[in-house]
Structure 1
Amino acid sequence: MTVGGDTVTEVVRLSWKDVRDRVHGRVLDGTYAPGDRLPRDEDLAEEFGCARSTVQRAMQDLSLSGIVERRRKGGTRVRRDPVTRATLDIPITRNEVENRGAVYGYRLIGLTTEAVPPPVTAKFEMAGSEEMLRVRALHLADGHPFVFEDRWVSLRTVPEILEIDLAAQSANEWLVRNKPYTRCDLRFYAMNADAETAAILETGEGAALMVIERTTWIGLDPITSVKAVTAPGYEILTRS
């Protein structure tokens, strides 16, 4: 870029994903061999010109993916026996629909503040119940049901969600864009549609449906727990 006749070099800040991919690339090309100790986070931050917290987030992801192992006072090493895991980012349902070439639609079904029931309390690993925002919503593709979600959002951790018009924007989209998490528990299972779910998803009662449950935290604080029931024909693709 030229300013007043002088050439100015633009500084591009790396994201944690950029740092993760660069370190992973060095593992793949043998720069960092199995068992090797990696440079300190602060040294990598200086090399990449980014914040130390950016490197820490990248290393956390590599650790969760089974590429490296981190030990307090022991530094970070490349695993001698790397664990292969499929990685699933939390999708924005609007993008899922539009990436299929369909027109996205959204309908808010219910929005209440309720005491969290015991099954959801257990998912959050909380000692007792508390009031959270419950959001029930339907995502559509070309006007047809795509995903029905029953979601609980912690008002203690995410009080600002009360300022969001959840009739216009889905909690899914807002949370993915605005509330990064440090831990995600993910569960898949099948269920037979009860009368209410069958009516919402416009399918037959007793139909086999795939359910995706996600619960996220930031540190030890709960963010959200959602039960997403998918319409027949829903597919998931993961790449590693």
Structure 2
Amino acid sequence: MTEDQRLGWREVRDTIHDWILSGRYGAGDKLPRDADIAGDLDCARSTVVRAMQDLSDAGVVDRRRRGGTRVRPDPVVRATLDIPITRAEIEGKGGRYGYRLVRQARALPPAPVLEAVGWDAPHEMLQVEALHLSDNVPHMFEDRWISLETAPEILSVDLAVQNANEWLVLNKPYSRFEVRFYAVAADPRLAVLMQVAEGAPMLVIERTTWIAEQPITTVKSVARPGFQLLSRS
């Protein structure tokens, strides 16, 4: 199997989860060592570690440094909310994906962004405003701030061609995230960008990701009226 054909951590996670759901490994059972699973699935050990960490965070398995990994006897039931790639979301519903960079600039973040990422003092970040379109109609507007300390490589990415959402999901795995949902009324600028009436109700998804204790990005995504979000447990 070539490097490009190797399983990603999400596929490895889903495979291990399927083993548990099928009864191959029951409550309290010890799972094989990460290295053995990597050998069975022909992937890197680090990929298995990332997959196991996700299962541990979801309350499916219990990992101990010397005790190995076991299926939890009392699995924690939580809703899961993967960070989506907007292009895949649109195309998965049969739409034709489009993208437009509205603006980007290096700047010191305002107070709400500092609060979101947990910084006491401002550090220079990259602000990116962009539109995601479905069949040439605005689908989602995002106002994103990216840490140049954890993601300095973003400065070499042509964000007029590749959107930051995709690049970050594919290149900057996170260890934790926070998400908030709330509604706003479209102000004049948002109404023009999203091609809706001024004052139209809009769903806002505000999400921040970290690697360890260092923020990667915080983004405020404003969805077109009628947008639906599905979460599964």
- 2:110 pairs with one of 117, 140, 165: 117
Output the amino acid matched with 1:131.
Answer: E
Residues 62-89 of structure 1: CA distance to partner in whole angstroms, max 9, x if unpaired?
1122211223434322112222233332
Aligned-residue offset at 1:100? 2.5
* Letter in structure 2 aligned against 1:77: R
Report the Cα offset of residue 48 of structure 1. Answer: 4.0
Taking only aligned residues, the RMSD between alpha carbons, in angstroms, comes to 2.3
2:177 corresponds, among 180, 184, 191, to 184
Structure 1 or 2, whichever has the larger Rg, is 1
Gap change, CA 1:176 and 1:19, over 3 Å in 2: closer
Q: What does residue 148 of structure 2 align with? A: 155
Tell me the CA shift for residue 46 of structure 1. 4.3
Identity among equivalent positions (%) equals: 57
1:37 aligns with 2:30: yes
Distance change in 2, residues 1:22/1:146 (3 Å): closer
Shift in CA distance, 143/17, structure 1 to aligned 2, threshold 3 Å:
closer
Please give the residue correspondences for 1:138-153 in structure 2 after superposition, counting only pairs within 5 Å.
138-153=131-146
Opposite residue 153 of structure 1, the aligned amino acid is I
The answer to whether structure 1 residue 204 and structure 2 residue 191 are counterparts is no
Aligned twin of 1:3: none
Q: Count residues with an aligned counterpart.
A: 231
Q: How does 1:63-142 map to 2 (within 5 A)?
A: 63-142=56-135
Deviation at 1:99, TM superposition (A): 2.5
**TM-score, scaled to structure 2:** 0.87
State the TM-score, normalizing by the size of structure 1: 0.85
Distance 1:179 1:102, change over 3 A: same
Q: 2-side partners of 1:89 and 1:99: how far apart?
A: 15
Q: Does 2:51 correspond to 1:58?
A: yes
Other structure's SS at 2:87 match = helix
Is 1:221 the equivalent of 2:214? Answer: yes
Query: How far has the Cα of 1:106 moved from its partner?
Result: 1.9
SS at match of 1:222: strand
Measure, in 1, the Cα distance between the counterparts of 2:8 and 2:143: 32
Residues 38 and 211 of structure 1: is their aligned pair in 2 closer, same or farther, counting only changes over 3 Å?
same
Matched residue SS, 2:90: helix
